[in-house]
Amino acid sequence: LMARRPIVGGNWKCNPESMAKLDGLVENMNACDASKCDIYVCPSPLHVACVCSKVKAGINVCPQNCNFKGCGAYTGEVAVEQMKDLKIEWVLIGHSERREYFQESNDLLAEKMKLILDSGMKCVYAIGEKLPEREKGLESTMAVCIEQLEKVKGLLDPAKVVIAYEPVWAIGTGVTATAAQAQETHAEIRKWIAKNVSEECAAGIRIQYGGSANAKNAPELSACPDIDGFLVGGASLKPEFKDIVDAIS
CB nearer to ligand PEP: give 6 or 211.
211
CB nearer to ligand PEP: give 78 or 231.
231
Structural element, H or E, at residue 246: helix 241-247
Please report how close the Cβ of residue 223 comes to ligand PEP at its closest, in angstroms: 19
Catalytic residue among 97, 133, 166, 188: 166
Please report how close the Cβ of residue 65 comes to ligand PEP at its closest, in angstroms: 13
Task: Tell me if residue 95 is catalytic.
Answer: yes
Residues that bind ligand PEP (CB under 6 A): 11, 166, 171-172, 210-213, 231-235
Tell me if 8 sits within 8 A of 232, measured CB to CB: yes
Please report how close the Cβ of residue 42 comes to ligand PEP at its closest, in angstroms: 8
Catalytic residue among 95, 129, 186, 188: 95
Which of the 8 DSSP states describes residue 5? P
| Cα distance between residue 215 and residue 212, in whole Å | 10
Q: Which residues of 178-207 are buried (b: 16+ CB within 10 A; e: fewer)?
A: ebebbbbbbebbbebbeeebeeebbebbbb
Say which amino acid occupies 67: N
CB nearer to ligand PEP: give 235 or 245.
235
Please report how close the Cβ of residue 236 comes to ligand PEP at its closest, in angstroms: 7
Say which amino acid occupies 225: P
| Cα distance between residue 155 and residue 114, in whole Å | 7
Task: Name the pairing type of β-strands 206-210 and 161-165.
Answer: parallel
Task: Tell me if residue 166 is catalytic.
Answer: yes
Please report how close the Cβ of residue 213 comes to ligand PEP at its closest, in angstroms: 5
CB nearer to ligand PEP: give 197 or 212.
212
CB nearer to ligand PEP: give 40 or 68.
40
**Between the CA of residue 248 and those of 36, 141, 168, 218, what are the distances in Å?**
8, 26, 23, 7
Q: Which residues are catalytic?
A: 95, 166
